Amino acid sequence: MSCFVDLTTAQIRELLAGMGEPDYRAGQLQHWIYQRLAISFDEMTGLPGRLRQGLAGRMRLHSLTPQQEVMGSDGTVKTLFALADGKTVESTLMPSPTSKGHTRYTVCLSTQVGCPIGCPFCATGQQGFERNLTPGEIIDQVLYFARRLRDRAGESPGSAITNLVFMGMGEPLANYDALWQAIEMLNSPQGFGLGARSMVISTSGLVPGIKRLSQEKLQVGLAVSLHASENALRSRLVPVNKKYPLEELIPVCREYVASTGRRISFEYALFTGVNDSLQQARSLAHLLGGLNCHVNLIAANRTTNPEFRSPVRATVLAFERELKRLRIACTLRQGKGLDIDAGCGQLRSRFLSESKSRVSVRKLA
């Protein structure tokens, strides 16, 4: 059965026309879904009963079912969702207090089940790739957390999602069409209505996708997972570098900045004895020299791979100081949900491991 949130506005209008409904019903339906956050057609009491029944008989409204959820001491919430085909995907809600006394709520979204890139330090990268998410499966991650913020007891009335980062499971630019359809609906005033500048797409460095993104009109941010400043090491950490080496990636990043007028971000996860030396900081500064960019330094998440450990804080701070000395804008990003292993793919890895254990026990029995 198809899913309603997979439809564009034009497709909704076409569907309604086929049901003999007037064009304005499309706006009413979208209001119920994206503003009122309805979880069923039955909730849409402002619509005729015949229309609600007709839609319910044709399709599902939403595409995700919460499977597991964990909350960290800092308020970070990670949720594992079951999809209609039984596969699972995770996303994270991250609260951040602001200097003005408000809280910024960022959702970290997945775009694929698993990931095709295979980065050895990433839990998702070790799961392999299963399939792309549909536009509705991407959108529904946002709508779920929007409802959660609205309904959670004790939450202030003004709480709402303020930012989206496509940094969860998968390579967003490898699922470009579904990603962009979801972004357009999440941005549209007739949809979720979140500003494009409040969204950031993270990529491992797919050069054709970056070129395509540079031609889009919506001012969505771009972050590139760099992690190394020379090819041999980056190919080890980010295997797609073998296809799109730094000699191709960095020039297309410069073209992106020139074409869009927007600053680009680079993600740099620090690993003990791998990419955290002062010499590597100098090499990174040389690589990015003259580029309008910002480097997000990240002390690596824990993984089951003993090769990739987080450096001691003194090493991280020394790396940051060296970049700043060399006039590279950078920020040491504070980890979220560290006590619940909120890094990409970690909850799903645990779920898959436990599922295999249960199957093994049943076989032995």
Looking at the annotation, which residues are catalytic? 90, 344
| DSSP-derived 3-state class of residue 311 | coil
Query: What amino acid is encoded at 79 in this protein?
Result: T
Q: How many other C-beta atoms are found inside a 10 Å radius of the C-beta of residue 304?
A: 10
| DSSP-derived 3-state class of residue 2 | coil
Write down the residue that tokens 């791998």 correspond to. 274
CB 26 within 8 A of CB 13: yes
* b/e sequence 98-108, b meaning 16+ C-beta within 10 Å: eeeeebebbbb
| DSSP-derived 3-state class of residue 257 | helix
Both tokens of 270, joined, read 């620090």
Both tokens of 276, joined, read 């955290």
The per-residue DSSP string of 60-127 comes to BS--EEEEEEEE-TTS-EEEEEEETTS-EEEEEEEEEE-TTS-EEEEEE---EEE-SS--TT-TGGGT
CB 180 within 8 A of CB 146: no
